[in-house]
Structure 1
C-alpha cells in the first residue's frame, strides 16, 4: 500500500515537525512493552463474565453450583455475595472525571437487568480456561419486563437535547423553515447511520491487586486519572490509595475513555478473593459491556439561490442513549460552522432505549454528522449544475455563521486548493456514470472534514540534570499516536538539547496528573503545560546564574538577559549554558512544575480549565478542517464498491511529528472507509441483543479494502494554541463517509443515504 504525504520542511535546528520514529517503537515491536493483561503477579487469578440474556427485568435465581465445582474455580460472584460498591458519582462538567461513568448500574449489587448483555455474574479461577468454562455453567433465570430497544420505532418519541456548559441542543439564525419554503432551489433529505462498535486491537483488560486498602490497577484506559478517581468513589477509599498504570494501550478511539464493567468487576473480584485478578474481555464481551456509537436519523434541508448561495440550512438529528447512562452525540456540530447560510437551524434530539449506554467513538458526532451534511451539499451541487467544490467555496464564511464569532484559524480554501491539485479533480467529468475503466464505473467524490479543537489542562514536571539530560513527567496516555515522541521533540526544542537527551514518563497516576486521551486535545494540553514548565525552569536557572560567583551573568538585571534555545545569552555578548549554570551552583539538577498534587490544587486546576473553556468559546471558534477526495470503482453487475484512491489535505495548525500525524490522519480515513462501506452493529429489534458481536461478522476494513492514501497538511500555526498545534486524532475520519457516498453517486447515479453502502443498495 503506497502512501505519501506533503509536509513543509522544519527548520534545520528544530526537532518539531520532523518525522521522527516513535520512542516506544522498539519496545512495542519486540514485545518488551507490557500491556494491561501482561503484568505478572504471584497467585494471579483470572476472571470471566456471565452476561444477561434478557433485555430488561429482574434476576429470580442464580445457580452457581456447577460452576463452583469446576477445578481451579476460586469464586463465583453474583448479586447475592459480591462486595458492595458505592453509587457512581453524578456527572457534572465542573468535575470532568465524573463523566467517566460508563453506566450508573450497580454491577453485581442489584438483581435488576437493564440491557441484554449486562454482567450478572463473574467467575474467578486459577486459569483463564477454567474461568471461561465455568462461566458457561452459571444458570440464571429472570422475570422479564417490557423494554424499548427498536430505535426506528422509538424515533417519534425523541425529545430535544438539553443544553449545558459543554453542548447545545438547538441553535438558530433567522427563520430557516420559511427560507427553505421560499428558496428557488431546495432539497429536504433523510439520512441514517447504524450503531457501530469499537474493535481496538487490544480488547479491554484489567489487572487488579489489593494490598490492604491500597489498590494497584493495570488498565487499558484512555484516562488513568479518571479511572483512579472513579474507583476511589466506588470503593470508598482515598484516591491517593489507588495507582493506575497504563503506559501502553492498544488502541482506544473513545471506547476506553469511560470506566466500564470489566474494570470495576476485576477490582471488586480482587478485593473479594484477596488475590490478584486479571480479566481480558472477549470480543463478544466488549460488545456486551462497552458502549459504542449510537444510531442516528438525520434531516438535512438546504435552500439556495440559482448561483448557489445558501438561504437556508437545516440539520436536525435523533440519536439514542441508554436509560442507565450515555449522552448526546454532537451530530450537528460541524453544521453550526461550515457554511454561510442566511438562515440556519440545527437541533439535536434524544431517545432513551433499554440498551447499553452509548459512548464516544472517534469524532463522536462529526463523524456521522459530516456524512449527512456533506452528502446533501453534493446533491445540491448537482441540482444547481455547479462543481461541488465551487458550491462549497461560494458559501465559505469569513466568520462563524450563526453568531459572527471569529475563527481562530481557518484555511479551508487553501486545503481544498491543495487537495484538488494533488488529486487531479480537474480530470473529473461532472456527469454521473460518465467515467469508466474497462467494465468498472469510476466515480470521484469530495467532502469537508471538520472537528473542533479542544484544550484541556494537565500538570507536569520538567527536570534538567547537570549531564544535559531532561526528564519530563506527566500522567498522560499513549494509545499509539506517538504522544511521548511528540513531547520529547517539544522539550528538546524548548530547552535546546538533542531529542535523544529527553526522557518522557507517562501513563501512571504516581506522576503529575495529565489529561485523558480524547477530544483530540491531549497533545495541546500537555504541550501548554510543558512550555510553561520550561519557562519556569529557565527563569529559575537565570536566577541561579545571577547569584553564582564567577558566572558571566552574575549581577545582570533580568532585562539584560534573553533566553534562547541552547542556553542563556546576555545582550553584552557573554554566554553560559544551562549545564554550566548548574555546575557553578554546585547543583546536579534543576526542576520546575506546573500544577498541584493537592486536592485543593486539582480543584483549582479544573476551575481554571472551565473558565478558560468558557472564555475561549465566547471569543472564537477553533477547529481542525480539511478536504477529503475519494475515487471509487463500482462493478455495474454486482454493486461491488472498491475505494481505489484517496487524497486529503488538512488545516491542523502546526505539526509536531510528521510521521505520527500522517499515521493518525490515515488511520482516521481507514476507519471512515469502514463506516462508509461495511461497519454496522446488527441489533435484534425485538430483544435488543447484538447479533454480530465478533470480527467474523462485524466487518472492518482489511488491507485489500484500503487504497493508497495521500495526505497533506498546510502546517500553518493556530495563534491561539500552544505552538500553534491543533489536534489531528479525529478530524481524519470526518467527511470520509460522505466523500465515498458522493463518489459512488458520481460513478453510478445512485444516492445512498443510509450507511453502510452495501451491494443491495446499488443493485
Structure 2
C-alpha cells in the first residue's frame, strides 16, 4: 500500500506541541457508564428473531476418533432442533485449537473435552439437557501421554541461542547459581465467557463475537466455513476481557456459523465457565533452569535460561519463556534453550504476557539469590548488569527506563528500610520486602483507521477492539488532540470488520499501533486544513474552534463546507531493525508471612514503569494494576490441575482455580509512570503497558517472602503448604 507509513526513522513529537491537554489526561472511558449499568450489549446479548441456542458437545476420551452419535434420547425432548457435527467441527493439527489459526477439516480427537459437535434447541436449557443424553462412540487410541514429564522432549531450534562458553564461565565464577524452577499452568478466566451469535443475511455471515483481533478473525472464520472473507461481517464492540484467549476464532464461532447456515436461523452459543477451562487455550506449565555466573563485583559473566513447555502434537505455538532474559541483562556467555513436551492436555497458547509472565519468576528470583551470595543489594546487582546494547542482536536500545525505574522505585518504596532477612516480626507474622525488574518487548503491528472531520466534530472508524483496555477513550483523545476538539466532539466506532483493519488487541501493541493510525489520519486532515487556510503545516494551530497559522486565522466550521476524511495506515520499518523497543520497570513488594499457617499477605506494592508516552493515565494505571494483581495470583494462587489418567482439567471453575480476590490485594498498590518518549517505537512515542505490569511483579512477591522468612521457594504458586514445608526444611 503506497499510502502506508513505515517507521523508518525517529519521529518528531507532534503531540508535545498540539497543547490540547487531551493525550495523557486521565479521562473516563466513554463506554464506561454503559458497562457499569449493564446496557452495553456484549456478544451474547442480542435477541434476534427466530434465534436458537447451542451447547458444544465435547469428547470424553483423550485421543482417537468419533465413530458415531446416538441422538435417540435427545430427540424425545420438546424443542430439540438437532446435532451438528462433521470434519469442520473437529480440530486439525494445522489450526491449533479450533480457530487459533486458519482452520482445515479434521477428524482427530487430541484431548479430553475437545469440542466435536453442536447440540441445538429452542432454549439453552433444552440444548444443555440434550447434550447429556447423546451417546458418543469412539475408536480410542490408548496410552496417550498426558504428563509433560513422561515423554521424549523436542528441541525448539528456533528458540536456541548460544554465545561464548557458559560452562566455563560457571566454573570460573566468583559466585554462581544453578537452580530449577517450575510454574503451574494458567487460564484466561475472563469475566465474559466465550460467546457468539451467528446469522446469515443475503448469503453473508454476521457474527456477534467476543474477539480481540477482528481483522484477522474475519479471515480465520471465512477459511473455517469455506467462504470468501468479504462474506463475513464480524461485530465485537464490547469484550469483557480476553487476555489472549480471544485472539483467534474459537469453536463456538465456527459451530454457530455452520449450524446457522444449515438452519437458516440465528444460533447463539455461550460457553459455560467449565467449558471455557476445558476447551480454551491454556498457559503451559513450565520447568526452568537458571544459571548465573558473576565476578566478585557483581558483573555477570554468564546467563543460562533453559525451559521446558508443553503443547499438543504438531502445534506451532510455544511459550517464549526466556523472552525477557534475552534482553534485560548482559553477559558474554549465554545459553537460551527450549524443549517442548508433546502431550494430550488442552492446547496451550498465548496468555497475558506470554513468556515474560512466567519467565521472570526464574530470572528475577535467581538474580536475588545471586545478590545474596555476592553480598550485594538486589537493586544494585541489577543496575550493574544493564546492557549497553541488545546482548544477542547488537541492536541499540530505544528509550529504556530500567535504571530509572529501579532507582526511583527504591526511593519511593523506602528500600533503604528493608530489613535483614528474617529479622522483622509482628507477632506470628514475618515481614519482608522484595524487588524485581520488569521488561516486555514492544511491537508495532500494521494498523489502519479512518478519521472524518465535519462541522459537528470528528468520527474515528477502525475495527480495533476494546477488551477493557480503554481503546474508545484513547483513540478519541488522539483525534481530539490532533484536531483541536474537546473530547465530547469526538465519536469512536470500533470492532466492525467492515471498517479499516486495525492491529487488534493483543501483545500490548493495540493502543500504540491503532493509535498511530488514528494519529496519521488526523495528521492528513491537518495538512488539508493548512492548505485551505494557506499556511505551512509546521505553523498550523488548532483549538477553540479556530484554525490559525502564518498570521492567518479562520473559524474551523468555515473551512468545512464538506466533511474532510482521511485514512491512516502504519507498519513497522527500519527502526525495528536498528533499535530494540521494550517497556521497562521495577516492582517493589512488601509481604507478611504467617509462620503458623504459611499464609502470605501482600501488604503493599509499587510498580514504576516506563511506557513511553502515556496516552490516558487512568486507563494505563488500570492496566498496570490489573497486571500486578495477576502477578500476585500467579505467585500465590493460580494453578491448573489435571487428571493424571486423562489429562482433563479438574480445576475447571473459579471455585477450584483460585484467582486473586479483593482480600488478597492490598489497598496500597501504587503505579508510577516515568516521563518518557520512545521516538523509534511509533509516531506517538508510546509503548504497551497491559503486560508489563504482570512481568516481574510475581517474582517480587517471591523475593519478599525470602526477605521475610529466609525461605527460598522455587515452585510456584507459593501456596501455604509449600511455605510451611520451607519452614520445616529451614529449621
Q: Which category describes the TM-score, using the shorter chain as reference length?
A: over 0.9
The runs of 5 or more residues in structure 1 that have no matched partner are 1-8, 92-97, 164-168, 546-552, 596-604
Q: What TM-score does the superposition give when structure 2 sets the normalisation length?
A: 0.93
* Residue in 2 that maps onto 1:457: 446
Query: Residues 99 and 358 (structure 1 numbering): CA distance in 2 closer, same or farther, change over 3 Å?
Result: closer
Contact 1:10–1:16 (Cα < 8 Å) also in 2: no
CA distance in 2 between counterparts of 1:233 and 1:162 reads: 30
8 Å contact from structure 1 (residues 527, 722) kept in 2: no
Cα deviation digits, residues 624-681 of structure 1 (max 9, x gap)? 0100011111110111111111111001111011111110000001111111111011
SS in 2 for 1:511: coil
**Aligned-pair distance for 1:291?**
0.6
Secondary structure (helix, strand or coil) at the match of 2:699 reads helix
Partner residue, 2:100: 102
CA change 1:285–1:104 in 2 (3 A) is farther
Deviations 1:310-335 (A, max 9, x none): 11111111111112535011111111
Q: Is the contact made by 2:389 and 2:396 (CA closer than 8 Å) also made in structure 1?
A: yes
Q: Which residue of 1 aligns with 2:464?
A: 476
- Say if 1:114 and 1:324, in contact at 8 Å, map to a contact too: no
Structure 2 CA distance, aligned partners of 1:689 and 1:187? 36
Shift of 1:61: 3.2
CA positional deviation for 1:435? 1.1
Contact 2:200/2:266, CA 8 A, preserved across alignment: yes
Equivalences for 1:297-696 in 2 at 5 Å?
Answer: 297-323=287-313, 325-430=315-420, 432-467=421-456, 469-545=457-533, 553=534, 559=536, 562-566=539-543, 568-571=547-550, 573-582=551-560, 587-595=561-569, 609=571, 612=572, 615-696=574-655
1:78 Cα offset (Å): 3.0
Q: Secondary structure at the match of 1:62?
A: strand
Q: Distance in 2 between matches of 1:24 and 1:119?
A: 34
Alpha-carbon separation, structure 2, partners of 1:114 and 1:450: 35
Match of 2:78 among 71, 79, 86: 71
Maintained 8 Å contact 1:85/1:106: no
For residues 254 and 612 of structure 2, the distance between their equivalents in structure 1, rounded to whole angstroms, comes to 39
**C-alpha spacing 1:382/1:64, structure 2 compared with 1 (3 Å):** same
1:247-295 deviation line (CA, Å, top 9, x unaligned)? 0000001011122211111111112222110000001111121111011
Aligned residues: 704
Residue deviations 1:135-155, cap 9 Å, x none?
11111132321311101223x
Does the 8 Å contact 2:444/2:513 carry over to 1? yes
Counterpart Cα distance in 1 of 2:91 and 2:638: 35
Corresponding position of 1:122: 118
**1:196 to partner: Cα distance:** 1.0
Q: How many angstroms apart in 2 are the aligned matches of 1:569 and 1:61? A: 74
Which residue of structure 1 aligns with residue 52 of structure 2?
45
Asked whether 1:277 is paired with 2:251, we answer: no
Q: CA deviation at 1:723?
A: 1.8
Mind listing any 5+ residue stretches in structure 2 that lack a counterpart? 1-15, 725-731
Contact 1:172 1:402 in 2 (8 A): no
Q: Does structure 1 conserve the Cα–Cα contact (< 8 Å) formed by 2:18 and 2:481?
A: no
Which structure 2 residues correspond to residues 162-177 of structure 1 after superposition, within 5 A?
A: 162-163=157-158, 169-177=159-167
Once residues 583 and 542 of structure 2 are traced to their aligned partners in structure 1, the CA distance between those partners, rounded to angstroms, is 29
Q: 1:624 to 1:262 in 2, by over 3 A?
A: same
Aligned-partner SS, 2:597: coil
Matched, 1:242 2:203: no
Distance 1:437 1:332 in 2: 38
Shift of 1:544: 3.8
CA distance in 2, matches of 1:755, 1:210: 47
Partners of 2:104 and 2:279 in 1: CA distance: 13
Indicate how the Cα distance of structure 1 residues 100 and 498 shifts in structure 2: closer, same or farther if over 3 A, else same.
farther
Conserved 8 A contact 2:464-2:501? yes
Equivalent in the alignment of 1:549: none
